[in-house]
Amino acid sequence: MDGLSSAPLATAIEWDIWTGGLCRVDTRIRPSLSDIEQAIRRLDQHRHSICTICLATGRHLVVGGGTGSYVVYVDNRNNTFEEARRRDPVDPGASLYLTIGGQEGDYPAETILDWGRTWAVARRLVVEGLLDDAVAWEHR
């Protein structure tokens, strides 16, 4: 694989597949960048609402939502998380309902990223192992 298609730090990717009230999880081992992009683009808040990218470092990148609105966080494996937040101003208190992991929830607008930001975060983490600075990160 060339440098543009490989995701050297990604060991696996998992995504949900909902049929009615039943969910199963599909997995791809050693995914390419294209596999990762397709899995995130597949998110539609109905049949597919969450995907997890497993990294060689033991961390996990989780992307939920879909159709242009995504919540993104990194699970650091030690009960701590890095939650991506928009840097551009949003109305205080504004929120949006998203379906993530099969459940609808009300998410603060500052935690909702568009496709471009979501893909930049995913790509940088799986290729370089770094948190993208185009978004703010809140440690939890």
Q: Is residue 134 part of a domain?
A: yes
Q: Is residue 5 part of a domain?
A: no
Q: How confident is the model at residue 7 (pLDDT cuts 50, 70, 90)?
A: confident
- What single letter denotes the amino acid at residue 28? R
pLDDT in tens, 73-106: 999 988 899 999 999 988 989 999 999 999 999 9
Higher pLDDT, 126 or 7: 126
Q: Is residue 27 part of a domain?
A: yes
Q: Is residue 3 part of a domain?
A: no
Helix (H) or strand (E) holding 124: helix 115-128
CA angle 113, 24, 52 (to 5 degrees): 35
Q: What domain count does the chain have? A: 1
Q: Is the pLDDT of residue 63 over 90?
A: yes
pLDDT at 89: 87
Overall pTM surpassing 0.75 (yes/no)? yes
For residue 48, the enclosing domain spans: 10-139
Q: Is residue 1 part of a domain?
A: no
Q: Is residue 124 part of a domain?
A: yes
